[in-house]
Amino acid sequence: MTAAGFLALSINIALIMILLGLAVAFVRLAIGPSLADRVVALDMMTITIIAFCGVYAVAVDDPSFLDVAIVLALVGFLATVALARYTERRFEQDEDQKGGTRRKEDDDA
């Protein structure tokens, strides 16, 4: 097997594995059951799409797909932070509705 043939085989295997990971993450996103599971699944989907862009950039020998991967990584990070903040506020609202008591240290943070 030549080096080019080995690279082509490796790229094909990597793309198949990435697509399988994307499918598993989509299933977790669809069935949940909790919001935390969905956030982690969405983050995993973002990471697998970034990996797909990187492998595809090697496959077609076009480095412009790496720029797409970098932008997607930045947007994915911001989305994860925003979803975590939303989850935190939702949790605090649920505690307030249940009549839970919060410590003063929690308010200071």
Q: Omega into 33 within 30° of 0, i.e. cis? A: yes
Confidence label for 107 from pLDDT (cuts 50, 70 and 90): low
Q: Work out how many domains the chain is built from and give that number.
A: 1
Instruction: Report the predicted TM-score, pTM, of the whole model to 2 decimal places.
Output: 0.78
Could you tell me the residue range of the domain that residue 12 belongs to?
A: 3-99
Distances (CA, A) of 99 to 89, 92, 94, 102, 108: 15, 11, 9, 9, 20
Residue 54 lies in a domain: yes
Quick one: pLDDT at residue 74?
Answer: 94
* Angle, helices 35-60/3-31, rounded to nearest 10 degrees: 160
Residue 31 lies in a domain: yes
Residues 6+ apart with CB under 8 A from 23: none
Task: Quick: pLDDT tens for 49-75.
Answer: 999 999 999 999 999 999 999 999 999
Residue 58 lies in a domain: yes
Domain with 32 in it: what CATH number?
A: 1.10.287
Residue 105 lies in a domain: no
Confidence label for 109 from pLDDT (cuts 50, 70 and 90): low
Q: What number of CA atoms fall less than 13 Å from residue 31's CA on the CB side?
A: 5
Residue 109 lies in a domain: no
Helix (H, G, I), strand (E, B) or coil at 34: coil
